Amino acid sequence: MLAYRDLDPPAEYAELSAAERTALLSWIAEYISPRKTPNKRTSYGIKHAFEASTGGFYVSNGAFKGAMLAAGYEPVCPEELNWRFRISTRKVVWS
């Protein structure tokens, strides 16, 4: 039986092109900052905000989780399917 940690693996981030990885990390740097308490939004919701606010490319939940790790953000509970992070989001278009 698959566990949540086996679904949407962060390793999908490595499957993005170099340009896509750069665009995603740039967006994270612009719209996300660290904070002490967990944000209620999950990786799944935030990745949709990325897609909507940039008119950009599709990114899987796994690839987004990998990008957040690459940007230095650790999940609150890595066993969850949709990760939450200790972050603030600003100027984001929520769909």
- Confidence class of residue 94 from pLDDT cuts 50, 70 and 90? low
In the chain, domain spans: 23-89
d(CA 95, CA 92): 9
- Does residue 24 have a pLDDT over 70? yes
Convert the pLDDT of each residue in 31-76 to its tens digit: 999 999 999 999 999 999 999 887 778 999 999 999 999 999 999 9
Averaged pLDDT for residues 77-87: 95
- Confidence class of residue 80 from pLDDT cuts 50, 70 and 90? very high
Can you tell me whether residue 87 is helix, strand or coil? strand
pLDDT of residue 16: 96
- Does residue 1 have a pLDDT over 60? no
For 12-32, b/e burial (b = at least 16 CB within 10 A) is bbeebeeebbebbeebbeebb
